[in-house]
Amino acid sequence: MVLGTLASKVSSQGLSASGLGNLLSSELPSLRSILPAGLSIPGLTGMASNVTSRVSDAAAHVRSEVPSTMPKWLWPVAIIALLLIALIWFANRNSSSVKNAVNTAATTASNAASQASTAAANAGSSLGAFVKASIPGGTDLNIPENGMESKLLAFIQDPNPRPAAIFGSSLTA
């Protein structure tokens, strides 16, 4: 139970060997206060500092004795290789969604242009044939038979004009 608590402290606080020794040293006063009066454990007072220094020395000795098994150049090479793989993937990924969006936009624009062309042709044919009309001052105009120009000219030339009949019911005299 004690070892489990120590292990959780070491892992949660990221303690090294000397950090664990310092943690145990800081807990010594509370451990002494728990002991009944007159009871002492020999070596408890200097044990923590002794253990800390011995563990630190052993860790330093192990670090100096065990050579690094991985060459120092391996990390940069691995990072560059990963970057190259990511770049190749990005360049060769399937861009079908972009192609679909472009094709949809092109089809929509083509359909809109076709509809506008059809509407313009229908509007032109509903105006009727062009007729020659004379206005005061001797000017001849070439205007559509059913267009607004013909209606305006008829309104101007009518001796009893009725604006509502020509321009709609919103204009009443």
Q: Kindly tell me if the per-residue pLDDT of 46 is higher than 60.
A: no
Q: How far apart are CA 1 and CA 3, in angstroms?
A: 5
At residue 41, the 3 state secondary structure works out as coil
Q: Kindly tell me if the per-residue pLDDT of 39 is higher than 60.
A: yes
Closest CA to 144 of 130, 126, 124: 130
Q: Kindly tell me if the per-residue pLDDT of 102 is higher than 60.
A: yes
Instruction: Determine the pLDDT at residue 100.
Output: 78
pLDDT band at 48 (very low <50, low <70, confident <90, very high): low
What residue ranges do the domains of the chain occupy? 2-65, 130-167
Q: Kindly tell me if the per-residue pLDDT of 4 is higher than 80.
A: no
How large is the average pLDDT for residues 68-72?
70
Q: How far apart are CA 145 and CA 151, in angstroms?
A: 9
Q: How far apart are CA 32 and CA 40, in angstroms?
A: 8
Confirm if 24 and 48 have CB atoms less than 8 A apart.
Answer: yes
Instruction: Determine the pLDDT at residue 134.
Output: 83
> For 103-157, what is each residue's pLDDT tens digit?
888 899 888 888 888 888 777 778 888 889 888 788 888 888 888 888 888 888 8
Confirm if 20 and 55 have CB atoms less than 8 A apart.
Answer: yes
Q: Kindly tell me if the per-residue pLDDT of 14 is higher than 60.
A: yes
How large is the average pLDDT for residues 3-8?
76
The number of beta carbons lying within 10 Å of the beta carbon of residue 52 is 19
pTM for the structure as a whole: 0.29
